[in-house]
Chain A
Amino acid sequence: MKALIYLGALLTLAGQPALLAQSNPLIFRGRVETDNRLLLRGENEWVWNENRLDLGIEKRANPLRIYGNIWLRHLGPSIVESSADLQDKGRINPIDADIRELYAEVYGFVFDELDLRIGRQRIAWGTADMFNPTDNLNPFDLEDILDFGRRMGSDAIDLQWHLSHQSSLQLVYIPRFQPASMPLGRFSDVLSVRAALPEVLAQAKYSDEIILPNNSLSRASSLGMRWRGFALNTDFSLSYTYSRDPLPLPAKVSIDIIYESDMAAGRPAVHATLIYPRHHIFGADLSGAIKRVGVWAEAALFLPESEIVAQVELPPHQLPFPVQGEEVVLKKQTYLKFIAGADYTTTGGSYINMQYLRGFIHERGREQLADYIFFQLNRHLFQNRLLIKPLSGGVSVSDRNSPFRNYSVFYAPEVSYLGVDNLDIGIGVYLFGGKGDGIFNNLKEMNMLRLRLTASF
């Protein structure tokens, strides 16, 4: 509802006579998408059902530009638990509205070389594909665990000073803190704090509470700056971000033994208090070419502002397993996440893309960082009517000392039909597996078939 109010406000603003008087009309563009996935085992349970209207609205009245991007969605199955719920269409057809971006932009603000953008916006930093360790101003949007690169818009003030045609300085201020959204439905445990509990507590009853930073400038704001340049036929940038980690970390963990009526022995129960600590991030990225191969690299040095030590509160009676009274969750020491990649198109038209990543989005601290290799091979067939991705996936190794006992893989081939303009229909599978606790191995029960359609207008 709130999104609809914003949408109305945007349309009203964009329809003002002063703006309409310009030669550029109000532009609507967007996409209708449906994305459905079902498990390849058992009764072929549906694990994802999303129908999305992705609507972009733009009005230009130079030097002003107003832009909004809103998703209206039907997401997930009916949430009906009693006959009373059948009177609530919101539970039968869960509808979700999401304001992705909503901002005004002025080109040549005060000075010709200065651009100003205010409002909810995506600030995309980095040069790699999907995995960008230096892209830390917008929080992760992890509701769809398979869409790793998705971020939410942030309410921000963004100033870009173009020092020359090939160099710019960007300053971003985000006054409010916004946490990352976490995976939905059957995927909800994949990145949760619960997944990081010791094995002895894996079956424990879990609950948590989140302590958000006080909603004030001093506690909740973030700052970023980036200098971009071009030298030796290579684009590069250096960046700095002072922000809060968008994924929560446990600051306190209470463990108890609960006794239920039908249980002879007690069952552990864990209650975690989660916080969003601050960190400094120093980033660098580059993109260019070596011979005919496109190359890019990106690195982010994270420095936690303070050490995070989870206080483990033990019950008065002795637990049947050892648990420390304190656990260091994140040391106050730097850790480096980085990615390096290359792409190449063969003379036959096959596109190959490979990336090596150190440190996935949810990994914190030197000890936790794992290694990943992602690969992709695309090829258009039948006069561009079909796009096949026969090799698309990734491999992770969570412990370099014993890689064959700590690896995980995913493989996601897909075929897309592109024979009609503005239409993209895809069918593919996601297969997961491995050994140990790699992220893709955690999804091994989720091998699935995906059917999707996108129609643009």
Chain B
Amino acid sequence: MATIQVNKKYAFRWYEKFYFMSITAGLWVTLKHFIKSAFLRRMVTVQYPEQKKPLSSRFRGLHRLKRNEKGQERCTACYCCQWVCPADAIHIVAAEVPPERQYLHPEDKYAKVFQVDLLRCIYCGLCEEACPKGAIYLDGGLPLPADSRDALILNKEQMLEPTGGPIIGERL
């Protein structure tokens, strides 16, 4: 059996052979938090979900369907998001706007069914980019756990904002 000769380019100094500096560097965050919570009485963890940390403005979380300045739904069921979705998470059924809900839509076509399967969604944000109307944004925060698979399929009522939203092309 031949052995492999490893050519070490770097020879340890005598104090490096104790590995003390390396271990301290590796455990530095842990040590910092230990000191903070044990001696300085400052909590490091957050009591989620009662307490929430602020998210980045670019954070991609739950989907939300936006309304325009008049409170009408922006989505016109053009299927661009469904088409672009790499995970096939979006399901849309388009329909003609009935007269009784004409005031809710700026166009003749609307999404009768708009579902997002959170179990399939990979939160890539392509739907946001594909939408020509600025109707869908992933700014709904962190997805919550659920008891069943059905509960993780978002429907239109869960995603629609109650009243107006930001202007097209703008995120919260």
Q: Do A and B come from one complex?
A: no
Task: Please report B residues at the A interface, Cβ cutoff 8 Å.
Answer: none
Could you tell me which A residues sit within 8 Å of B by CB distance? Answer: none
